[in-house]
Every structure is written in structure tokens, then in C-alpha cells.
Chains A and B, each alone.
Chain A
Amino acid sequence: MNDHLLSMHDLTAADVVRILDTAESFREVGTRVIKKVPALRGRTVVNLFLENSTRTRISFELAAKRLSADVINFSASGSSVAKGESLKDTALTLQAMGADAIVIRHSSSGSPLQLTRWVDAHVLNAGDGTHEHPTQALLDLYTMREKLGHLEGLRVAIVGDVLHSRVARSLSVGLVTMGADVTLVGPPTLIPPDAPGWGVHVSYDIDGVIPKLDVVYVLRVQRERQRLEYFPSVREYARLFGLSRRRAAMLPEHALIMHPGPMNRGVEIDSDVADQPASVIEEQVTNGIAVRMALLFLLLGGRREDAA
């Protein structure tokens, strides 16, 4: 693995397997009464969350704490950033404070890469603009592997606003790396024009795709996109692309229903579907902590013997 985790493009199939295997060994820690190992004792992890995200920040915070790292949460509101401090100056400050790893969430695509030019710390991309969200992709790969036993050859549809989704971009790359068969489904206005170049299929016919799937991965659809004329109405979106009960019933028995959260129940996914047994949305959250522990551990070079 590289010094940083910026993009799923940085990872080979062997890297992904190593991360998922490491996560496997850490998942048990979360089931203990004392949910802590000393692997990163004395190391400092900064959560630099310049875009609001409670879920991902908490997941990273728990991951670092369970590894016994010192964790500092730095968010935009109420910080020097709110007073107009630049990303570079913020980075230099964190550098001076001795951060070993910086977990960055930012609304600007590419900001984690820029950060690596200014600091010595390991940088983990926790979501940058509409670019990538590799830790989400890895936890999704973990969940798929755990539930279905393998990734190679899996038939996965990613449904919704792929164009603006960092999750879709990272997950597509990761799935293709692992040899899965990926189909992007959504209104053509929300599918990147170059998607076929990613090594994936594109379909506008969700009903034709669903019966052959191992995983249907539903993306959040922001109502904001309707204002920008990407689709006529939320109602029409739900009718053409929403995961309704009728469509969920067309899935093979073993198929998983996944969603990166937070969900718009009734828009991209029917409320009953989100709560049915095939849905592993809650487990995605639990697995996220283990995967992030694995990433911090591998990037920061924690000692194996302290991981138990």
C-alpha cells in the first residue's frame, strides 16, 4: 500500500484483500466488552471534517479510539476555518502539532491529494467532493464478501445519481479491480458520459437488470438535482428508478440490498424494502468501523502483536 489512501485507483486487488482480511481480524474487537487494542497507542489521528458528516466522522473516531490512538476532531464550524483560514494553513498547523494521520472530508474534489503536498502525515480520504470515497467502497466490498463469500464475478448494479456520487465512483473502481460485473443504472443525465470507459455496463432499464443481480446498491438522490433539471420530478424518479417493493421482489433470493446512507425513504428506496432482511444497510455501518481500523493500522504501520 501507498503512504496515503486517496482513491480506489491506488489499490491493487491484493491490497484490497489485505485490507479486508485485516478488517476481519479487527471486527471481533467491536464485540468485546472492552473494545480496544493498543495498536496505535501514542499516535495522533486528526479527523479534519470540513464538510459535515456525522456518520463517517463517528466511524473514523471510533476506529482510531479502538486502536488506542489519540483522536482530534477538527470541523469547519467554530474552527479557524470558519474564520477564513486556508486549507494549506490548517494543514501546516496540524503538521506542526504532530499529526500522524489526517482523515479528511471536504466538499472540494482533489483536496486530499493537495493535502499530501503540504503535510508529512498519512492522508485518508473520507470523501472529497464528487470524486471518491474509498473507505465507503472498502466497507461495502467487505460487506459483500462477507455475505456472499466472494467478489470476483459478482453482478452488482449501482442505481441512481452516479454522476455526482463519490461512493459510486470509488465502488465501481473497487468492484472492477476485484473482477466483479458492474452495471450503472439511472437516468442518462446522471450517468457520467465516459462511464463505459470505467469497465462497467450502463443500463437505463432497472427492471431488466434486477433479476440477475447479486447486489443492488442504491444511491441517495438529492432533491437539489431536480432543480438543476437532471430529472423532472422526485415522483418520476421513484417510478422509473426507485427500488420499490415490486422491484425488490424481482431480486434473486440471495441478493443484497445496500445503501451508503443517509437514505431518502420513498425516493430511491421504499421504506419497507430498506427494512427487509435482504437489506444489510445496518451491517454496512458496523463493518465501516472495522475497515477503517484496518486502514489506519496498515497506513500507520501499527505493530501486529498489538492488534490482538
Chain B
Amino acid sequence: MSERVVILGARVVDPVSGTDDVRDVVVADGRIAGPEAADGAERIDAEGLVLAPGLVDLHAHLREPGDEHKETVETGTRAAAAGGFTAVAAMANTVPVTDHAAIVHEVRDLAAAASLADVFPVGAITTGLAGETLAEMGEMVDAGVRVFSDDGRSVPTARLLRNALVYATAFPVEVVIAEHAEDASLVEDGHMHEGAVSASLGLAGRPAAAEEIAVARDLAIARATGGRLHLCHLSTARAVDLVRRAKTEGVRVTAEVTPHHLTFTDEDLRTYDTHLKMNPPLRTAEDREALRAGVADGTIDVIATDHAPHAVEEKEAEFDRSPPGTIGLETALAVVLTELVHPGVIPLARAIDALSVAPARILRAADHGGALDPGRPANLVLFDPGDTWTVEPPFVSKARNSAFTGRTLRGRVRATMLRGAFTVADGKPTR
């Protein structure tokens, strides 16, 4: 079902075309149309709101198949739509693992049936995420996969990662190897950032050096092979520095950060709140500032949610027994506005770039991330940048493990449109 609407008077922010001004946008037959199509269209007064390309999440766990008690493709994409997303990359740690084309097709079919957001399955780099042998990447590339990741752990050996990066250059399309950068031997049994807080809480730590080592190794391999590397959820200041230098040297690398690493520090864990348990862990205030600076200067290309839904009883456990992760699809935009845009750390256009344009480019999601030119698919988000709200359950997601619960955020999605059809209208999912 596709509507014909004209969105009136919104501030249109489209980093691809460099647009940032107030104008009317017409949508007809699922695409952005010229002004001639406005006659007789439904009129939406959007004065004071921002209209931007639909957001694109490069890093989400939709849990299906296998962990449907945490989330399903349908509930996850509904949460995505609620957060202003029109496209989501679904990580490979499903059960069974997304390491062959059949699962890729299954996940995409589930998404198509729900029609709430486009889902781009991420393929596993190694079979079963076991870190031993390369998964059959070619078959998955044919099935449309453009990003591969063993997210949750690093590819264990330099040799295996080198071979993955080199092997991926065989394909006629650009394929990205996305690394969860933590040295496994240093994070074994660790539950939070290693430092003064972990010592005083009696929790085994995951030191910053674990990320620095993995990032340095991965960059060295990318440099040596010319392979295309993406670094997931950076969390340390030194990792940002390493990426910044590698980029100036021409290494083909992109990097991402999560809204929660841009917000919290290890000090926030003093209450043993399992909702704040993450891998990689929340770091120090100094790291957080470096991550923000990395987003501001473009060292960090993408802000991705690492949406990690868990059942209530799984998170209501002892800290060392609780699984890591927070949901994030419904709060990402508001967190970025609250923490980065409103305080003036980055302009709004950079936020839209990091939440939509850059991830769409990496995912090869050609229909997403702008430009908002006539003829382009109408994948859009309309939001009120100033609306204040408090995060609290229930969520649109099946899960409720949000690290942001209780926080007041500024910025709220009013409508999301997938190929011209509203998935969210008046701030609520349409179905």
C-alpha cells in the first residue's frame, strides 16, 4: 500500500545532496516525486519537524531464527521503524548461524512478509562463527550479502582474517569484512571495562588494550592486503586514534560506534545494572570524549545500535551471568540528538550522515540513505528534534533491556516511511 502525500514545511536534511532547508516533499507511487504530483495528495503539516533519509542500522541482532523468545524479525523491524529506521543489517549469530544462503533467504523472506524495514542479513565470516574455517562467502554474496562479520568475537587468528579479506576481493561487488575487535585472551571471563571501577566492584575486566590490540592487528592486515575492513562498535580512545591514522595512510577502513558508548561510562555500572553490561564494555569518560570527537571529525563513519534484545529473565540475573547488550533501535536517533546534536558536538547533517548515508553506502543499500531527489525510493524519517520524552518500557521491541531506561531524551520520531508507505505515523507503528 503506497500513499500519495505531500510533506509540508519540514526542514529537509539530506547530506547526499547537501540539502538543509525548509521545503515541501512530495511522495507518490513509493517514490519521491516532483511538485506536479502534489495535487490531490494527502497534506501533512510538518512545520518544525525534520525530514531526512530513513535511518539505516549497520548492526542489529534480530535473533531470528533461533532466539525468537528475545526478538523476531517482525518485532525487531517494527522497533526499527519506530526508531526511524528503514533498513537494518541483521547480525549472523542466529541459530543456526547465518553462514549459508538458506538462512540469508529465510531472514529476508521474514522481513519481506513483515514489510516494516528492509533487512540486510550479515553473513558469518567463519562457519558456525567457530573461528576455524571460512564460511562459503560466495554463495552468500550471490544471495545479496555485502557485509560479513563474526560479531561477538574477533576472528581469532591473523591468518584467518587475512584470508577472509583477500578472499573477499574475488567478488565483483565490494564486500566488507566487519570485525568485532577484542583480543579474546584478554577478555576471557571479563564483564566490564578493566579499571578502578571493575576492581572496586570485584568484576573481572575487559581491558582497553584488548580492543587496541585487535584494532592494530586488523588495520595491519587491511593495510597489507588492501582488503576492505569495517570495525564494529569502537569503544576506546586509542582505537579511534589508530583508525584516524590508518585512514590518512589510505587503509580501506570504516568504523562504527554505538549510542551507548557515546553516552555511558564504566562509572555508571556501580549499581551492577545488567542493562549496562556490554561487549565491548562501557569505558571511561576520556574514551567517551574521544569517540564523540571521532564522530565529529569523521574518523568514525557510522553510528550503529548493536541492538541486542534479551528476555527479561536473562537480564534480571547476577551481573556475571547476564548476557551483554542493550536494545537500541527505538532510542538511537533521540540519543544522538540529545548527546551530540543539541549540545553542538556535531551538526544535524553529520548525525544523519552517520545514521543513514554512511551505513547505507557500506551495506550497498542503494535504496536507502538518500538522496531525497525525485525518482528516488521514498524511504524517509520525519522527526521532532525538540520533543522531550522519558525512555520506559514497554517497548515496540519484544525486549525491554534498554540501557537508556529512565533517561530523558530530546528528539522523537513522528513518522517513518518505507517505499512510500507509512510504517510509523503519529509516532506509532501503523501495523
Same complex for A and B? Answer yes
**Contact (Cβ within 8 A) B317 A131:** no
- State whether B318 touches A108 (Cβ < 8 A): yes
Residues in A193-234 with C-beta less than 8 Å from chain B? 193-195, 197
Tell me whether B196 and A108 are in contact (CB under 8 A).
no
Query: Quick check: is A98 within 8 A (CB to CB) of the other chain?
Result: no
Quick check: B201 and A88 within 8 Å, CB to CB?
Answer: no
Q: Mark A168-209, 1 if CB is under 8 A from B, else 0.
A: 010000000000000000000000111101000000000000
> Which of A86, A88, A109, A132 contacts B319, CB < 8 Å?
A109
Across-interface contacts of A108 in B (CB, < 8 A): 318-321
For residue B65, CB closer than 8 A to chain A, the reply is: no
Min distance, Cβ B361 to any Cβ of chain A, angstroms: 41
CB pairs A–B below 8 angstroms (14 shown): A87-B318, A88-B317, A107-B320, A109-B202, A110-B201, A110-B202, A114-B272, A129-B320, A130-B203, A131-B201, A132-B202, A169-B200, A194-B196, A195-B199
Residues facing B in A117-150 (CB within 8 A) are 128-132
Q: How many whole Å from A289's CB to the nearest CB in chain B?
A: 25
Which residues does chain A contribute within 8 Å of B267, judged by CB atoms?
Answer: none
Residues of chain B within 8 A (CB-CB) of A88 are: 313, 316-317
B-side residues, CB < 8 A to A, are 194-196, 199-204, 271-272, 313, 316-321
A195 to B200, CA, bound (A): 9
Contact status B316-A109, CB under 8 Å: no
Q: Shortest 9 CB-CB distances between A and B: which pairs?
A: A131-B202, A108-B318, A110-B272, A109-B202, A194-B196, A130-B202, A192-B199, A194-B199, A110-B319
- Picked from B194, B195, B201, B313, the residue with its CB within 8 Å of the CB of A109 is B201
State A197–B199 Cα separation when bound (angstroms).
Answer: 10
Distance between Cα atoms of A154 and B319 in the complex (Å): 36
| B152 → A minimal CB distance (Å) | 22
A74 to B374, CA, bound (A): 69
CA distance in complex: A169, B203 (Å): 12
A106 at the binding interface (Cβ < 8 Å) = yes
Chain B residues with CB under 8 Å of A128's CB are 202
Could you say which residues of chain B place their CB within 8 Å of the CB of A111?
A: 318-319
Give CA–CA (A234, B105) in the complex, Å. Answer: 56
Chain A residues whose CB sits within 8 angstroms of the CB of B204 once the complex forms: 130
Q: How far is the CA of A110 from the CA of B320 in the complex (A)?
A: 9
Cross-chain contact B195 with A110 (CB below 8 angstroms): no
For window 64-94 of A, CB contacts with B under 8 Å fall at 86-88
Q: In the bound complex, how far is the Cα of B203 from the Cα of A128, in angstroms?
A: 10
Distance from A95 Cβ to chain B, minimum over Cβ atoms (Å): 15
A166 at the interface (CB under 8 A from B): yes
How many Å lie between the Cα of A192 and that of B316 in the bound state? 28
* Centre residue among B199, B202, B318 by max chain A CB count within 10 A: B202
A106 near B195: Cβ-Cβ < 8 Å? no
For A169, what are the chain B residues with a Cβ–Cβ distance below 8 Å? 200, 202
Q: In whole angstroms, how far apart are the Cα atoms of A111 and B202 in the complex? A: 11
Contact A113 B318, beta carbon cutoff 8 Å: no
Find chain B residues with CB under 8 A from A87 CB.
317-318
CB pair A113 B271 closer than 8 Å: yes
- Please name all residues of chain A whose beta carbon is closer than 8 Å to the beta carbon of B320 when the two chains form the complex: 107-109, 129
The CA-CA distance from A195 to B321 in the complex, in Å, is: 26
Q: Nearest chain A CB to B185's CB is how many angstroms away?
A: 10
> From residue A159, how far is it (CB to closest CB) to chain B in Å?
18
By a CB distance below 8 angstroms, the chain B residues around A194 are: 195-196, 199-200
Q: How far is the CA of A129 from the CA of B189 in the complex (A)?
A: 13
**Interface 1/0s, chain A 4-37, versus B by CB < 8 A?**
0000000000000000000000000000000000
Q: Are B199 and A86 interface neighbours, CB within 8 A?
A: no
Residues in B with CB closer than 8 Å to A109 are 201-203, 272, 319-320
Q: Which residues of A contact B272 (CB under 8 A)?
A: 109-110, 113-114
Asked, given contacts A132-B202, A169-B202, whether A110 binds B196 with beta carbons under 8 Å apart, the answer is no
- Determine how close the nearest CB of chain B comes to the CB of A136; give it in whole angstroms: 14
**In the bound complex, what is the Cα–Cα distance between A193 and B201 (angstroms)?**
13
Residues on the A chain within 8 Å of B202, using CB: 109-110, 128-132, 166, 169
Contacts A110-B202, A111-B319 aside, 5 further interface pairs with beta carbons under 8 A come to: A86-B316, A109-B203, A110-B318, A130-B203, A169-B200
* Residues of chain A lying within 8 A (CB to CB) of residue B203: 109-110, 129-131
Beta-carbon contact of A114 and B199 below 8 Å: no
**When chains A and B are docked, how far (Å) is the Cα of A194 from the Cα of B196?**
5
Instruction: Please give, as numbers and ranges, the residues of chain A lying within 8 Å of B321 by CB-CB distance.
Output: 108
For the complex, what is the distance from the CA of A75 to the CA of B63, rounded to whole Å? 35
Chain A's closest residue to B319 (CB) is: A110
CA distance A7 to B349 in the complex (A): 48
